[in-house]
Amino acid sequence: MSTYSAKINTTERPLLAHKAGNGDHFHQLWRPLLYFNIYRLLVGSTLAIIAWLFPFNNSESFQEPLFFYTNISYLLYSSINIMLIKLRHPNFDLQLTIQVIGDIIFLTIMIYASGGLQSGLGGLLLVSLAGAGLISRGRMALFFASIASICLLLQETYSLLTANSQSAHFSQAGLLSLAYFAVAWLAHQLAKYTLASEQLAQKRGVDLANMAQVNQLVIQYLQEGVLVVDKQGIIKQHNTYAEKLLNLRTIKNEYSRLSDCAPEIARRLVNWQSTPSINFELLRLSHTNANIRTRFLPVHSDSLDHIVILLEDTGRMQAQLQQLKLAALGRLTANIAHEIRNPLSAINHAAELLEEEQLENNVDSRLVRIICDNTKRLNKIVQDVLELNRRKVPKLESIVLNEFIANFIEEFCRTENIDIKVFTITPTEIYSITFDRDHLNQILWNLFQNAWRHCQKKTNSIHIKITAGTSLNEVSLNIIDDGCGIESQQVKQIFEPFVTTTTSGTGLGLYIARELCETNQASLEYIQGAGGHFRIICRN
């Protein structure tokens, strides 16, 4: 299936079109010259047949041997010219000049051999001059007419000087010469207008090629899926975004039906064809889980033979709106967080002093501990909010992932007071990644806390699996727990800020973890299945 290629050089494409136009123009010069020589062969053969079947026995001026020898030479000359045209050697201008002068000489001799201008062969030179003027685009047309006129007058003069010839017809030769110049001038004017039309058409062709190229690039990089289908529902064209939305890469047939690739859209297309004014709800694609808005536009307003289908991914727009909201929210919360942190620190410090005083007096400090715990929790929220606006440049370094994970598990279990047997690692070989060590530590701490919170807290409840990625320079780090996992309707929201399923959570952990992964040119995703499964794809 023909698609718009995304790797077309915009500066070279019009140049290629221009070169192709020059090549076609050059080829169009040789082709008429070939046809002109075929015309010579037909004329020579016709004259030979007529002279053979209807000899001029009653004409004393007809010189049969000279006529036949000249005619045969003319046929041989035309055949040689055809071979030279095929070889493209010598160049076009030289071949055209030689051939036209050869026409004039051979036809002049045959005019003389057939009895002069009374034979009517002088009119053949009119065709040769007109053809030469058109083929040469008007160049040298008057020169060829001059040569033909001179040869015709010399032929009449020679006829007058020969003893066995009749009287010469100079008046007829003069009129015929005027006709030669008139035909040459008309051919020159016609060729001039033809050349101007060809140049204009070539310029318009380059402009159309440029416009088509611009249209292709616009459609190709348009952040909206574009499909073109015919009335049979066969996909004729599509862009990269439509290929991504509908997963068209798996379709190997050159012309695939829309009903095979996207049956939901095909059904909507049928409904739209019957009722063009219908408004469709948002459509969630089953294979990509994308929420799209469909629009149908006919290529021609009076026909439904070809239809353009526009697929607008609302998820992308929602993500952009969310980024704008987060940017504004981040600026607001950062200012508020700074204002909250100072009195919060004072409250926490006062609560700690009060706790120490109550311990000295052997008074229950449960209420004070509640104050301290909640101030720590509020401080953690403030710290996470401040992290939203802190985009530090990562200090990338090469990390042996197997060794880093082993040391991290020991530290995590010691800090959180967890039995290390809960974790199990199954690396098949040693892998190295390029990552910021502090960022990786923060990401894993968050993911391990989530896994410990939701797992069954048994031996081997949390499984760490390190494998090679789908590409050669990728490493896949999987954190899998044996918990109940995340419900399908909540999967798309787990990476959004301030979304949490626990009362003590801030809803910023996974969001910050994903942002840190993207900062290090990695990705974090949740894999649906049995239990919780987070996957980090890192670079080597």
59-63, 222-226, 461-465 — which is least confidently predicted? 59-63
Give me the half-sphere count of Cα atoms (radius 13 Å) on the Cβ side of residue 516: 26
Task: Give the model's confidence band at 324: pLDDT under 50 very low, under 70 low, under 90 confident, else very high.
Answer: confident
pLDDT of residue 1: 37
State yes or no: pLDDT of 342 exceeds 90: no
Task: Give the model's confidence band at 391: pLDDT under 50 very low, under 70 low, under 90 confident, else very high.
Answer: low
* Mean pLDDT, residues 325-350 taken together: 69
Domains of the chain: 13-211 (no CATH), 225-316 (3.30.450.20), 396-539 (3.30.565.10)
Model's pTM, two decimal places? Answer: 0.43
pLDDT of residue 335: 65
In angstroms, the CA 204 to CA 19 distance is: 14
- Cis check for the bond before 90: say yes or no (omega within 30 of 0): yes
pLDDT of residue 2: 38
pLDDT of residue 326: 65
Query: Any residues with CB less than 8 A from the CB of 497 and at least 6 apart, and which?
Result: 326, 329, 388, 507, 508, 511
Nearest by Cα to 128 from 39, 31, 34, 27: 39
Task: Give the model's confidence band at 139: pLDDT under 50 very low, under 70 low, under 90 confident, else very high.
Answer: confident
How do strand 396-400 and strand 432-436 relate by DSSP bridges?
antiparallel
* Mean pLDDT, residues 139-162 taken together: 87
Q: Which two tokens stand for residue 91?
A: 């160049």
pLDDT of residue 362: 62
pLDDT of residue 6: 37
The partner residues of 303 in beta bridges, in order of sequence, read 300
pLDDT of residue 405: 92
How do strand 462-468 and strand 291-300 relate by DSSP bridges?
unpaired
In angstroms, the CA 404 to CA 123 distance is: 99
Nearest by Cα to 387 from 536, 501, 516: 516
* Mean pLDDT, residues 184-210 taken together: 87
For 102, the enclosing helix (H) or strand (E) is: helix 92-113
Q: Which residue has the higher pLDDT, 274 or 381?
A: 274
Q: HEC string of 2-70?
A: CCCCCCCCCCCHHHHHHHHHHHHHHHHHHHHHHHHHHHHHHHHHHHHHHHHHCCCCCCCCCCHHHHHHH
User: Contact at 8 Å (CB) between 306 and 313?
Assistant: no
The partner residues of 399 in beta bridges, in order of sequence, read 433
pLDDT of residue 259: 84
In angstroms, the CA 299 to CA 124 distance is: 53
User: Contact at 8 Å (CB) between 226 and 242?
Assistant: yes
pLDDT of residue 12: 37
Encode pLDDT of 307-316 as tens digits: 999 888 877 7
Q: Which residue has the higher pLDDT, 21 or 303?
A: 303
Q: Which residue has the higher pLDDT, 19 or 79?
A: 79
In angstroms, the CA 144 to CA 255 distance is: 57
Q: Which residue has the higher pLDDT, 354 or 381?
A: 354
Task: Give the model's confidence band at 510: pLDDT under 50 very low, under 70 low, under 90 confident, else very high.
Answer: confident
pLDDT of residue 16: 40
Q: Which two tokens stand for residue 220?
A: 């190709």
pLDDT of residue 9: 38
295 φ, ψ (degrees, to nearest 5):
-135, 145
Q: What percent of the chain has pLDDT over 90?
A: 17
In angstroms, the CA 121 to CA 103 distance is: 12
What is the b/e burial string over 486-495, where b = at least 16 CB atoms within 10 angstroms of the residue's CB? beeeeeeebb
Task: Give the model's confidence band at 17: pLDDT under 50 very low, under 70 low, under 90 confident, else very high.
Answer: very low
- Terminal C-alpha separation, the chain: 36
pLDDT of residue 8: 35
In angstroms, the CA 242 to CA 220 distance is: 10
